[in-house]
Chains A and B, each alone.
Chain A
Amino acid sequence: MRVAVIGAGVIGLSSALCIHEQFHGLVPSLELEVYADRFTPHTTSDGAAGLWQPYLSDHGNLQETLWNKETFDYLLGHMHSAAAKEMGLFLISGYNLFTEPAPDPSWKNIVLGFRNLTPKELELFPGYSYGWFNTALMLEGRSYLPWLTNRLTQRGVKFFHKKVESFQELFSQGVDVVLNCSGMRSGDLQPDPELQPGRGQIIKVLAPWVKHFIITHNLKSGIYNSPYIIPGSEFTVLGGIYQHGNWSEENSAKDHKSVWDSCCRLLPALQKAKIVDEWSGLRPARPSVRLERESIRLGNRQAEVIHNYGHGGFGITIHWGCAMAAARLFGNILQEKKQLATPPGPRL
């Protein structure tokens, strides 16, 4: 049973790990392979700051809220292990700021200690009159992706540095199941007009005195088009760009100025921070995550694709819930192919 994962960002690697963990003992013939043209540190996941936080509203998509919760709980459970540091996982508190009262988010009971900001706290942020404080998690891609890669390598999963041009290409080589975790470039494998880039640009600075994340919201401009400051283990990420439909991965001087000026206004001490890097990336945005099976008839065979892409700006936030859902779909495939007597035990 050959399974090929396309994509080595957080979605591809975590889906691969989840499937291997659950099925390698039950399916002795399981061979897992990861194909990608970009590996860490060059994936979209590496550019993300790594803060666990869903969008403000789930638009009634309770499935995604559940996957977010599963991810948070899974990560929180790892907090006590010695692996946490290696994974790039740590607790962080911070502020979400608004210029007017906002309804509580779908994730208020998932994070720790969610509450409204007090008037004195709001004094820190002139121009903002309402906000939240909570404790969440950081999962830094540049640590997490290598950690996932190590776990997979230890398990004998093979990696191939190549751009897959079509699902057919893999099926004709004898692959039985393809996991499509190709993020932004899924459209190259199968057109999907619903998948659009949500371009972001960030500035990485040295500002080790910043211990909280600060995310501002402008309900008119939309998500992430308002300044945000996210301190990592080494660098602090300044951002606030979300351009729907913009495919450019080049840094823009105009966006740089917008991010720099607005973040310095938010936190004046940043004026003294040293800029170490700048990066643009494309959030693989979609009205909802595409996480479903697709059966493809190939002569007398039935080949299976499990799609797992379109996680927008919340890939890290939702990744493990999606990985487990993808693993369940894989379990169904195995059952149907009579590779498995019964699926593995119930998992949340």
Chain B
Amino acid sequence: MASPKVAVVGAGVIGLSTALCITETCPSCSVTVLSDQFSPNTMSDVAAGMLIPHTYPDTPIHRQKQWFKETFAYLFAISNSAEASEAGIHLVSGWQVFKSTPKEELPFWSDIVLGFRAMSEAELLKFPQHRFGQAFTTLKCDCPPYLLWLEKRLKAAGTQLYTRKVTDLWELHSEYDIVVNCAGMGAHQLLGDKQLFPVRGQVLKVHAPWLKQFIRDGDGLTYIYPGIHRVTLGGTREKGSWSLSPDAGTTRDIFDRCCSLEPSLQGAQDIEVKVGLRPSRQCVRVQREVLSQGGVELPVVHNYGHGAGGFSVHRGTAKEAAHLVGECISALQGSSSRAKL
């Protein structure tokens, strides 16, 4: 197989980063990204893109840690380079505060982010309703810039990007040798995966350029994440809700909760409301599968179900998926050389 044809379905952070990893590990592959939406209209564009991992209940911790470590190292190098501003990657420091001391005072990722430590008494004075806190420095991927930067790298590597709604992975079998499913929430319709469910998140993106620090409530519901041009205020975690329409009552509630953590937000301007559906699963599905119909086989690599933690582990899962694509190619080459005998 001289030039395996690989289709990547999905152009959010997972689809684009997986496609990029494939071009890196398999330069002879011809990679095409197919998606009904591209930045700035993907689910990823709604997210703040903070590198603070979400813990998946059914994925082994060491694997999650490896994914996060690889992602952090990759973005750290970009943030330190001349490309940082174009890629939308920047360091940000801040606090995670808890109303009651968490069971786990040291999360698995505490030695990967920078300068992780408990907050001092003096720092906690700023949060009278919170009794415990953690201070650290992490990275943020601003979207659209990060997705646009990935698209630019892909195009430079010869990847084709097409707007196309794929309704069934099988429809790709005649044009492509391998299909990589990075459809996020779209995998629900594509595959009927009953383990995949939406967790609705509403956020506000506001103009408050004096805010340089992130603040996150350890309950994961209230957060203030300063990006390059806008600050993301969140949020909600509505399990099972499919609604993409902003809710005015929710907007008011998010704003009030964030103002109680950071009173200066009262002066925020230009409030934009966005909604995303986190494609959630008990474990991220990074897995090979072979679809077959009438004697014809189609190798598929799945990389979806990242829920609230897509940005935090994207590069790690992309590399794993690219590795699986390599295995698919070897398998195809093995069977095609067998066919020649």
A binds B: yes
Known: A90-B211, A121-B137, A212-B91. A268 touches B267 (CB 8 A): no
| Cβ of A334 under 8 Å from chain B | no
Cα(A5)–Cα(B221), bound, Å:
51
Shortest Cβ gap from A235 to chain B (Å)? 10
A135 cross-chain contacts in B, Cβ below 8 A:
93, 123, 213
Size category of the binding interface on chain A = 35 or more
Cα(A113)–Cα(B94), bound, Å:
11
Cα(A138)–Cα(B82), bound, Å:
26
Whether the Cβ atoms of A211 and B209 lie closer than 8 Å is no
A336 cross-chain contacts in B, Cβ below 8 A:
none
Whether the Cβ atoms of A209 and B228 lie closer than 8 Å is yes
Cα(A84)–Cα(B91), bound, Å:
24
B80 cross-chain contacts in A, Cβ below 8 A:
123-124, 268
Residues of B98-132 contacting chain A, CB below 8 A:
114-115, 117, 119-120, 122-123, 126
Secondary structure class of chain A's binding surface, majority of residues:
mixed
Shortest Cβ gap from B331 to chain A (Å)? 39
Cα(A82)–Cα(B266), bound, Å:
7
Nearest-neighbor residue (CB-CB) of A117 within chain B: B115
Whether the Cβ atoms of A82 and B212 lie closer than 8 Å is no
Nearest-neighbor residue (CB-CB) of A213 within chain B: B212
Whether the Cβ atoms of B83 and A269 lie closer than 8 Å is yes
Q: Which of B85, B91, B114, B120 has a CB less than 8 Å from the CB of A112?
A: B120
Whether the Cβ atoms of A209 and B84 lie closer than 8 Å is yes
Shortest Cβ gap from A30 to chain B (Å)? 33
Cα(A148)–Cα(B267), bound, Å:
19
B267 cross-chain contacts in A, Cβ below 8 A:
82, 85-86
Whether the Cβ atoms of B123 and A85 lie closer than 8 Å is no
A81 cross-chain contacts in B, Cβ below 8 A:
263
Whether the Cβ atoms of B263 and A112 lie closer than 8 Å is no
Residues of B130-177 contacting chain A, CB below 8 A:
135, 137, 142
Whether the Cβ atoms of B263 and A80 lie closer than 8 Å is yes
B84 cross-chain contacts in A, Cβ below 8 A:
209, 268-269
Nearest-neighbor residue (CB-CB) of A82 within chain B: B266
Residues of A119-173 contacting chain B, CB below 8 A:
120-121, 123-124, 133, 135, 138
Shortest Cβ gap from A91 to chain B (Å)? 6
Whether the Cβ atoms of B117 and A115 lie closer than 8 Å is yes
A212 cross-chain contacts in B, Cβ below 8 A:
91, 93, 212
Whether the Cβ atoms of B115 and A233 lie closer than 8 Å is no
Cα(A138)–Cα(B211), bound, Å:
11
A85 cross-chain contacts in B, Cβ below 8 A:
210, 264, 266-267
A84 cross-chain contacts in B, Cβ below 8 A:
263-264
* Residue-wise interface mask of A (62-104) relative to B, using a CB-CB cutoff of 8 A (1 in contact, 0 not): 0000000000000000011110111010111100000000000
| Cβ of B226 under 8 Å from chain A | yes
Cα(A88)–Cα(B11), bound, Å:
40
Nearest-neighbor residue (CB-CB) of B117 within chain A: A115
Known: A82-B267, A121-B115, A268-B81. A92 touches B120 (CB 8 A): no
| Cβ of A208 under 8 Å from chain B | yes
| Cβ of A6 under 8 Å from chain B | no
Nearest-neighbor residue (CB-CB) of A110 within chain B: B122
Nearest-neighbor residue (CB-CB) of B208 within chain A: A85
Secondary structure class of chain B's binding surface, majority of residues:
mixed
| Cβ of B281 under 8 Å from chain A | no
| Cβ of B86 under 8 Å from chain A | yes
Whether the Cβ atoms of B212 and A211 lie closer than 8 Å is yes
Known: A81-B263, A209-B90, A211-B226. A133 touches B115 (CB 8 A): yes
Whether the Cβ atoms of B81 and A269 lie closer than 8 Å is yes
Whether the Cβ atoms of A211 and B91 lie closer than 8 Å is yes
A112 cross-chain contacts in B, Cβ below 8 A:
120, 122-123
Known: A112-B123, A113-B120. A93 touches B212 (CB 8 A): yes
| Cβ of A56 under 8 Å from chain B | no
| Cβ of A218 under 8 Å from chain B | no
A269 cross-chain contacts in B, Cβ below 8 A:
79, 81-85
| Cβ of B229 under 8 Å from chain A | yes
| Cβ of B92 under 8 Å from chain A | yes
Shortest Cβ gap from A220 to chain B (Å)? 27
A138 cross-chain contacts in B, Cβ below 8 A:
210
Shortest Cβ gap from A156 to chain B (Å)? 27
Whether the Cβ atoms of B263 and A234 lie closer than 8 Å is no
Shortest Cβ gap from A341 to chain B (Å)? 37
Whether the Cβ atoms of B85 and A115 lie closer than 8 Å is no
| Cβ of B88 under 8 Å from chain A | yes
A211 cross-chain contacts in B, Cβ below 8 A:
90-93, 212-213, 226
B91 cross-chain contacts in A, Cβ below 8 A:
124, 211-212
Q: Which of B83, B115, B120, B122 has a CB less than 8 Å from the CB of A118?
A: B115
A233 cross-chain contacts in B, Cβ below 8 A:
209-210
Nearest-neighbor residue (CB-CB) of A208 within chain B: B228
Cα(A84)–Cα(B211), bound, Å:
11
Q: Which of A86, A91, A121, A209 has a CB less than 8 Å from the CB of B85?
A: A209
Known: A85-B267, A121-B115, A268-B82. A113 touches B228 (CB 8 A): no
Cα(A271)–Cα(B82), bound, Å:
7
Cα(A124)–Cα(B92), bound, Å:
13
Nearest-neighbor residue (CB-CB) of B209 within chain A: A233
Shortest Cβ gap from A137 to chain B (Å)? 11
Residues of B213-231 contacting chain A, CB below 8 A:
213, 226, 228-229
Whether the Cβ atoms of A209 and B266 lie closer than 8 Å is no
Supplied contacts A82-B263, A209-B90, 12 more A-B pairs, CB within 8 Å: A80-B126, A81-B263, A92-B213, A112-B122, A113-B117, A138-B210, A209-B228, A211-B93, A211-B226, A212-B93, A234-B209, A269-B81
- Complex A-B: 11 CB contacts under 8 Å: A81-B263, A84-B264, A91-B213, A113-B119, A123-B80, A133-B93, A209-B228, A211-B91, A212-B93, A268-B82, A271-B82
Closest 9 CB pairs of A and B: A269-B84, A85-B267, A233-B210, A209-B90, A90-B210, A268-B82, A93-B93, A211-B212, A209-B228
